[in-house]
Amino acid sequence: MDASIKEHKTIINLLGGGKKLTARLKLLSNENINEKTVYSWVRQGIPDRWKVAVSRCLLEDNIDISNYKKLLLPGLQLDNLISANNSVKIFSHSKVLKSDDKYLHNIMSKDELIKLYKMMLKIRRFEEKVGQLYSMGLIGGFCHLYIGQEGVISGIEMLAKDGDCFITGYRCHAHMVSRGEPLQNIFSELFGNEGGTSNGKGGSMHMFRKESNFFGGHGIVGAQVPLGTGISFANKYKNNKFVTFTFFGDGAVNQGQVYEAFNMAALWQLPVIYIIENNQYGMGTSVERASAMNELFRRGESFGIKGYEIDGMDPVSVYGNLKEICDKIREKPEPILIEAKTYRYRGHSMSDPGKYRTREEVQETRENRDPIERVRALLLLKKYISEEEVKEIDKEIREKVSKAADIAREMSNPDHTELYTDIYAGE
């Protein structure tokens, strides 16, 4: 086989084959290129007008472009693309992060994997119980469940250090659970009882626990992003090496205040990791219908913010890909944007029938990509636990969740004087 033909074929295969490369080139160029044309490049060579786009795809996938110098246009050297100090000229550092199974299967110890599994299962069973209680009319107001997305928060919790700060939107129950708040207190808050984390005044969407460095639960779409940016400013000012994990959804990513916050974070080089929990749908609207450019991890490029896409349905991958990033920005602060591709099994809220997607779509994700099932399968594969132990863990967690809910239901309503507390900050 001719060397140039072999090289072109190798490039296409490295980028996932003709079908995948075609889809990526369409996104980059907005041109109606087809798969047949891409495959024709194996023999005809990659046309000059497509070389920059193909080079970008290689760089995004962390593939050494110096091995494919024929991609460089006449007069263009590799040094022209990326400068000596590794700052981008033509190409962005934003990329899709991937890890091979062999690496992921050995990145966490037995104890860490079991802890991760229990955390996700605890969140899942808690949210299922919340859904049940809401349907019974025992929880009022809006209620947004996290079922299906457990891999994102759990993977990040496993790499977080004491002192790191968390802030999110109104889909916040899971973050309270992962931050270690007693289940009884969270249930009490949902019931509006005096034993709640905010004495029943926050409810489902406004949970808050300063002692655990969890700063909410925010009902205004995107409001947590500038707030998280402010928290990270305080951490940098104090030089305490803490990272602020600021979570928001794909529906919030188009808010203006998000970009104002990005600008400040980049200007001041703040130690903040912005995490877009892209569960594919906003309030009944898919990302494709709501965002003109749906590679959300690139949204910080104009500010010089590096962006990475990760598999949010694989908590071990979340942990593995973000751990090194976290360690770096503790020592040399800078904002990072993460798009965690995930999926919610329930509606946007409990009042959402979810008719904008098919049951088959939801079921396919449950069966093939469920984050809890992935870790369970890995634990069994490595023989860290047995099937009987898996069942016992689930039984124990179900009992704890049920007991916490029962105790919380018996708590009294707060005294009316509670309405006048926590209005102003104390001295």
Q: What is the pLDDT of residues 152-176, one digit of tens each?
A: 999 999 999 999 999 999 999 999 9
Q: Which tens digits make up the pLDDT trace of 359-369?
A: 999 999 999 99
pLDDT of 120 above 50: yes
User: 101-409: which CATH number, 3.40.50.2300, 3.30.70.330, 3.40.50.970, 3.40.190.10?
Assistant: 3.40.50.970
pTM over 0.85: no
Q: What is the DSSP string of 132-173?
A: HHHHTT-S-S-----TT-HHHHHHHHTT--TT-EEE--S--H
pLDDT confidence of residue 85: 47
Q: CB of 320 within 8 A of CB of 351?
A: no
How would you classify the pairing of strands 336-341 and 95-96?
Answer: unpaired
Size of the chain, expressed as the number of residues it contains: 427
Instruction: Between 425 and 192, name the one with better pLDDT.
Output: 192
pLDDT confidence of residue 40: 86
- Domain residue extents for the chain: 3-90, 101-409
Distances (CA, A) of 239 to 176, 215, 228, 236: 26, 20, 16, 5
Instruction: Between 159 and 301, name the one with better pLDDT.
Output: 159
Q: How far is CA 188 from the centre of its chain?
A: 28
Beta strand ranges found along 24-159 (DSSP E): 95-96
Band the pLDDT of 103: cuts 50, 70, 90.
confident
- Mean predicted lDDT score pLDDT of the chain: 90
Q: CB of 257 within 8 A of CB of 223?
A: yes
Q: Which tens digits make up the pLDDT trace of 324-359?
A: 999 999 999 999 999 999 999 999 999 998 889 999
